[in-house]
Amino acid sequence: MNINTEKETKLRVSHFPQVPCKAFHVDVDSIEEAMKIKNILANYDLFQYNNRIKPDYCNVTTIDMWDEDSDGEGNPGWCNWTDEEGYEIDCYELVDGKAVLEECYR
């Protein structure tokens, strides 16, 4: 399955380094860029844990898209990214720099 790249969508990565906390956000130009940043942040947190920089952690990283009707009532806002079939980012992997849908259950 290919991701629709014709539709212009505003995207960002939201990272919560220690839940509960406020997220910091990184604007991105593509799903592939978002996935790369998400993986970098996960590996960075794991590196800190494995090297005893952080004693423990509970992190969350999401990929968000801007939606003019984010709540179903006509209010714009950020929501979790899904593809046209409703699959979330965790159903994708990067293969040769492209986001590819892997076997996934909804």
12-40 tens-digit pLDDT: 999 998 888 999 999 999 999 999 999 99
What's the distance, Cα to Cα, between the start and end of the chain in Å?
15
User: pLDDT category, 6, cuts 50, 70, 90?
Assistant: very low
Residue 14 makes CB contacts below 8 A (sequence gap 6+) with 23, 24, 25, 61, 62, 63, 64, 78
Q: Report how far residue 68's alpha carbon sits from residue 91's, in angstroms, rounded to the nearest whole number.
A: 24
Q: Report how far residue 10's alpha carbon sits from residue 19's, in angstroms, rounded to the nearest whole number.
A: 25
CA within 13 Å, CB half, 84: 7
Kindly state the DSSP code that residue 21 receives in the 8-state scheme: S
Backbone angles phi, psi at 43, to 5 degrees: -65, -35
Q: What is the pTM of this model?
A: 0.81
